[in-house]
Structure 1
Amino acid sequence: MNSRANIGPASANPVNLAGPVLQRDTRLDVLRALALIMIFINHVPGQIFEFMTSKNFGFSDGAEAFVLISGISVGLAYGTRFSPGSRLSVAWKAVKRAFTLYTAHMITTFVTLVLFIAGAWIFQQKGLLCEVNILALLMDPAGGIPALLTLGHQIGYNNILPMYAALFLMLPLIMLLEEKSPLLLLLVSASVWLVSGIYYIAPHTTLLEGFWFLNPLSWQFLFVIGFVACMQVKRGGKIPAHPLLIAFAALYVLVSFVWVTDKLWVLGDYLAMLGLPTVVTGFDKTFLSLPRLLHVLALAYLIVSVPSISRFLRRSAHHPLTILGRHSLDIFVAGTILAMAGQVLLYVTNKSPIVGAIYVVVGTAAQFLYAYHLERKRLQTAGQRPEKAQLAVTAVSAHMAKRR
């Protein structure tokens, strides 16, 4: 999911997100890195840094930001390649990406199981077996293992990648509809989101009664919005930075901030009295309720429309956040494993605030070090390609010289 295009500087004028095709927009990497860090911190609950992440200051959190950014990145990586003659190859790449995400999910799932089971045995803490949906699996392994493999049972805090993989399976249809009409795609996507939220249509879990924690039929709408916005500007369009829209977005972010920080959740009861579906008035994450959706979109609009915010997020290609965000899948897998180990550690230390804080700092630093390792390997590989190409040219030239 490399975003190999420049989204361009934000200004008071209409925002041009196109720019040179080969220049990578570091803002996407920086934002993706911030989302990854917040997801890691939130997945180690019970320590002080958890209360400093975005979920405590608005309706949405790192997951919404990650999916919106992913929609934009997919537009940059796949969008204009989906054309007659190459549709099957692009669709196959999307399917392979979905399988890669499924494999990554299986890795984090089974490592999580090993961590919690080993922790329960080593530290004599049987309560660990009752955490993160493990007990149902242990009580029925014959049904649980197939359920894990078919995504019918998902371990707690290991439920983003299945939704994300499902989005990639939808991607060929998304690209086909966008090519026909971006408006048609948005209308279809919004309808699927609304109907799914109203009638609770979502993939069911098989080992325990319920739904996937993150319903792909709902979250696809946010993904599609990012994709359509990217394709709009990639084809020369612009996102207008209108003062009224900026004011509305800022006001909504402010209201959300006050609502969450002052814990005004009782106001949700008054919204429910309007008789509208809960997907419109509630704050449910599974079905991505409207307040959460609007919050992440308002934040995104402010980022691309307010020059000072946009400039602040634009960092060099060698900035630590840029490097971390560039290797998002590897870092996400590493962060998930570290978070699961952190949960075991906090459980056996009775959620010691000192241990938790130290662990999060060390775990975050470890992810940056891993990102630098991956970046060094990437640069080495990229450096070898020109050398191989030059050797090939030299060999061909020598062969031609001999023939003469």
Structure 2
Amino acid sequence: MNSRANMSPEPAQRVSLPKPVSQRDTRLDVLRALALIMIFINHVPGQIFEDLTSKNFGFSDGAEAFVLISGISVGLAYGTKFLPGNRLKMAWKAVRRAFTLYTAHMITTFVTLVLFISGAWIFHQKGLLCEVNILALLMDPARGIPALLTLGHQIGYNNILPMYGALFLMLPLIMLLEARNPLLLLAISIGVWLVSGIYYIAPHTTLLDGFWFLNPLSWQLLFVIGFVASMHVKRGGQIPAHPVLIALAFAYVLLSFIWVTDKLWILGDYLATLGLPTVVTGFDKTFLSLPRLLHVLALAYLIVSIPSISALLRRSASHPLTILGRHSLNIFVAGTILAMAGQVLLYITNKSPVVGAIYVVVGIAAQFLYAYHLEHKRLELAGQRVAKAPAARIAMPAHFGKRH
């Protein structure tokens, strides 16, 4: 407080607050929005728009993009604040976020169960109970319910959030290692990814024999790469846009495009004869095989290195894609629920191409409307905080409250 404020406070309406300088990179929001849209489309299989998503034109898909973008965003939101004196607070914040993701996963899981079981009952379509790993749960609910709650059983298409939550549980250690030595963190991360892929180390499912569909011990590498890159840039570093690296990245993306569109998977069998681990030569999603990892990294490098692409993705804060990506968790939950409802609808209509196409369009539009609703609430709350802040900043007279 200054002496002027103590002597003669100005009226609240005349007190102005400094405008915060926004450092949010809208490219991340736009890319996250595009990844969310592709994930939604891919989670309603059997309709025409599925053929237009990125998985049909390269080794990676929306899931890899989402995790890499998340690593970058977490570096900006958590890593830059992981400073001496604030580290325990940020570590606890990461753990709390993991439990938020667990709650979101439980919501999508049980809503999915309700949708499929209700669909089977209302429309007399018992086959719905054999979809998305539901039957094993219904056959043995005494083991199935605890397995769901402990993530030992995951419903199909509801398996991204468990992996993402596990990454947030790892985040305190990731931030600590990065603060000590980023190269050491990368070396350890690569080692964990490689060992997990070679020896098939992953969280096991308990109701059915197998692994989590997305192994966090493998996917942490992509998350860490994004995290380290964002911290490097925030400390004043740069991602070098070297012509040779750009050419190599473009060549790999082109090779991936030709490989997938021409269905040259037989070449994968040749790579297997080299005797290298499948995590290096295969295309497995659970253990994030190297070709998938390199593909999403090559795409990311081209985006940040080619100015025209980067500028195309830099939209205003009020752009629909920016708003959709800003509310990613809520939109992901809504999109998952809509996708599960869409799967039920397509099942009972025998995968009608017309119904599927219309539903996807309506579902995407619904997510944009929901995002605008969330943005309106966010701006409203921000306005309320600003309105209350000046009154709180008015100092009381120096003698107020003193005994005479």
Which bracket does the TM-score occupy, shorter chain normalised? over 0.9
The residue correspondences of 1:146-165 to structure 2 (distance < 5 A) are 146-165=146-165
Please give the alpha-carbon distance, in whole angstroms, between the structure 1 residues aligned to 2:169 and 2:128: 34
SS for the counterpart of 1:208 is coil
Gap runs ≥5 in structure 2? 1-19
Letter in 2 for 1:391: A
Letter in 2 for 1:358: I
Q: Aligned-pair distance for 1:393?
A: 3.2
Please give the alpha-carbon distance, in whole angstroms, between the structure 1 residues aligned to 2:400 and 2:83: 42
Please give the alpha-carbon distance, in whole angstroms, between the structure 1 residues aligned to 2:291 and 2:80: 32
The alignment status of 1:122 with 2:122, answered yes or no, reads: yes
Q: Name the structure 1 match of 2:91.
A: 91
Q: Name the structure 1 match of 2:50.
A: 50
Please give the alpha-carbon distance, in whole angstroms, between the structure 1 residues aligned to 2:399 and 2:124: 73
Letter in 2 for 1:197: G
Please give the alpha-carbon distance, in whole angstroms, between the structure 2 residues aligned to 1:46 and 1:105: 24
Letter in 2 for 1:105: H
Q: Name the structure 2 match of 1:350.
A: 350
Q: Aligned-pair distance for 1:81?
A: 1.5
Please give the alpha-carbon distance, in whole angstroms, between the structure 1 residues aligned to 2:65 and 2:139: 36
Q: Name the structure 2 match of 1:39.
A: 39
Q: Name the structure 2 match of 1:389.
A: 389
Please give the alpha-carbon distance, in whole angstroms, between the structure 1 residues aligned to 2:73 and 2:389: 29
1:202-235 Cα offsets, whole Å, 9 max, x none, are 0000000000000000000000000000010110
SS for the counterpart of 1:133 is coil
> How has the CA–CA distance of structure 1 residues 400 and 256 changed in structure 2, closer, same or farther, with 3 Å as cutoff?
farther
Q: Name the structure 2 match of 1:166.
A: 166
RMSD of aligned Cα (Å) = 1.5
Letter in 1 for 2:186: L
Letter in 2 for 1:49: F
Q: Name the structure 1 match of 2:360.
A: 360
The residue correspondences of 1:271-286 to structure 2 (distance < 5 A) are 271-286=271-286
SS for the counterpart of 1:276 is coil
Q: Aligned-pair distance for 1:23?
A: 2.0
Q: Aligned-pair distance for 1:85?
A: 1.5
Please give the alpha-carbon distance, in whole angstroms, between the structure 2 residues aligned to 1:53 and 1:400: 68
Please give the alpha-carbon distance, in whole angstroms, between the structure 2 residues aligned to 1:128 and 1:108: 17
Q: Name the structure 2 match of 1:12.
A: none
Please give the alpha-carbon distance, in whole angstroms, between the structure 2 residues aligned to 1:253 and 1:400: 71
Please give the alpha-carbon distance, in whole angstroms, between the structure 1 residues aligned to 2:186 and 2:258: 31
Q: Name the structure 2 match of 1:340.
A: 340
SS for the counterpart of 2:207 is coil
SS for the counterpart of 1:298 is helix
Q: Aligned-pair distance for 1:80?
A: 2.2
SS for the counterpart of 1:178 is helix
> How has the CA–CA distance of structure 1 residues 398 and 340 changed in structure 2, closer, same or farther, with 3 Å as cutoff?
farther
Q: Name the structure 1 match of 2:224.
A: 224
- TM-score using structure 1 length: 0.93
Please give the alpha-carbon distance, in whole angstroms, between the structure 1 residues aligned to 2:115 and 2:386: 43
Please give the alpha-carbon distance, in whole angstroms, between the structure 1 residues aligned to 2:253 and 2:329: 29
Gap runs ≥5 in structure 1? 1-19
Please give the alpha-carbon distance, in whole angstroms, between the structure 1 residues aligned to 2:224 and 2:283: 20
SS for the counterpart of 2:324 is helix
Q: Name the structure 1 match of 2:7.
A: none
Percent of aligned pairs with the same amino acid:
85
Q: Name the structure 2 match of 1:306.
A: 306
SS for the counterpart of 1:316 is coil
Q: Aligned-pair distance for 1:401?
A: 8.0
The residue correspondences of 1:242-321 to structure 2 (distance < 5 A) are 242-321=242-321
Please give the alpha-carbon distance, in whole angstroms, between the structure 2 residues aligned to 1:317 and 1:169: 30
Please give the alpha-carbon distance, in whole angstroms, between the structure 1 residues aligned to 2:389 and 2:308: 43
Matched residue pairs, number?
384
1:57-95 Cα offsets, whole Å, 9 max, x none, are 000000000000000000000112112211111100000
SS for the counterpart of 1:113 is helix
The residue correspondences of 1:318-329 to structure 2 (distance < 5 A) are 318-329=318-329
Please give the alpha-carbon distance, in whole angstroms, between the structure 2 residues aligned to 1:342 and 1:377: 28
Q: Name the structure 2 match of 1:141.
A: 141
Letter in 1 for 2:185: L
> How has the CA–CA distance of structure 1 residues 401 and 59 changed in structure 2, closer, same or farther, with 3 Å as cutoff?
same
Larger Rg: 2
Q: Name the structure 1 match of 2:379.
A: 379
1:216-260 Cα offsets, whole Å, 9 max, x none, are 000000000000000101101111000000000000000000000
Q: Name the structure 1 match of 2:71.
A: 71
Letter in 2 for 1:214: L
Please give the alpha-carbon distance, in whole angstroms, between the structure 1 residues aligned to 2:67 and 2:223: 6
Q: Name the structure 1 match of 2:5.
A: none
Please give the alpha-carbon distance, in whole angstroms, between the structure 2 residues aligned to 1:182 and 1:90: 18
Letter in 1 for 2:34: L
